[in-house]
Amino acid sequence: MDFFSLEKLMDPGSVLGAVALAVVMAIAAIVISNVLTRILTRLNWVIGRLGRRVDETVVRYTVRIKSLVIFIVFAAKSTLANLISGLSLAVYRPFRIGDKVSINGEYGTVEDITLRHTIVLSWQHKRLIIPNEIIDNMTLINYSIIDPVMLCTVELGVSYDSDIDLARSLILEVTNNLPIPPGEGR
């Protein structure tokens, strides 16, 4: 049956894959919690053998807090991944705020990089809000990482009965009279 294929079981984007991943993570959390509980109780025994007195309340409280922390870490996997990816983006800087980028066919300007996500303002004036974990694994084009000058193709249409040479000379005259930003040449 196609519903129970190994491919779907391994794909966290499918229902079966998401359930399988949740089960594996729950089992891992329980195993890690049990191992740490045994280590903490043995550590209490070892400390007791060394002649130091450890309050049982402190040991039990530590075991309970340990379990809570493990389950929170597993539940917050996505948030932690986004935080770590955000840190990676800040350190390696594949793009910076203000850079012109192309992501999955959308062109725009990086507006903000937060702890959780990156905001890109597209040229259609849409805001793309992309989780850092996803954008860290994407292939993107950064048009301004080395040189802020961009080469763009502009398509202009003129009617069939227009004088092409006149239209061409007018277009060149207008473009040659455009202001040039400091430090850039034609």
Say if residue 49 is in the same domain as residue 10.
yes
CA distance 93 to 120: 15
CATH number of the structural domain spanning residue 115 = 2.30.30.60
Neighbours of 154 (CB within 10 A): 6
Say if residue 51 is in the same domain as residue 114.
no
CA distance 9 to 15: 8
Query: Does residue 38 lie in a domain region?
Result: yes
Say if residue 99 is in the same domain as residue 55.
no
User: Which of 14-18, 125-129, 135-139, 168-172 is predicted least confidently?
Assistant: 14-18
User: What is the pLDDT confidence band of residue 118, given thresholds at 50, 70 and 90?
Assistant: very high
Q: Give the pLDDT score at 181.
A: 65
Q: Give the pLDDT score at 39.
A: 78
CA distance 26 to 80: 17
CA distance 90 to 83: 11
With 0-12 / 13-18 / 19 or more C-beta atoms within 10 angstroms meaning exposed / middle / buried, residue 85 is: buried
Say if residue 67 is in the same domain as residue 111.
no
**Nearest alpha carbon to residue 138 among 106, 104, 112, 163:** 104
Query: Does residue 111 contact residue 120 with C-beta atoms inside 8 Å?
Result: yes
Query: Does residue 53 lie in a domain region?
Result: yes
- Res 17 pLDDT > 80: no
Q: How many helices (H) and strands (E) does the chain have?
A: 6, 5
Can you tell me which residue has the tokens 């402190």? 58
Say if residue 65 is in the same domain as residue 17.
yes
Say if residue 6 is in the same domain as residue 70.
yes
pLDDT, greater one: 21 or 108: 108
**Number of residues written out for the chain:** 186
pLDDT tens digit string along 26-50?
788 788 888 877 877 777 666 666 5
Q: How many domains does the chain have?
A: 2
Say if residue 65 is in the same domain as residue 106.
no
Say if residue 61 is in the same domain as residue 104.
no
Query: Does residue 147 lie in a domain region?
Result: no
Q: Give the pLDDT score at 122.
A: 93
Say if residue 25 is in the same domain as residue 66.
yes
Which residue(s) pair with 177 in the sheet? none
Query: Does residue 173 lie in a domain region?
Result: no
Q: Give the pLDDT score at 92.
A: 87
Residues 6+ apart with CB under 8 A from 171: 156
Give mean pLDDT, residues 171-177: 88
Q: What is the pTM of this model?
A: 0.51
Give mean pLDDT, residues 1-22: 66
Say if residue 103 is in the same domain as residue 70.
no
Query: Domain containing 129: what range?
Result: 95-142
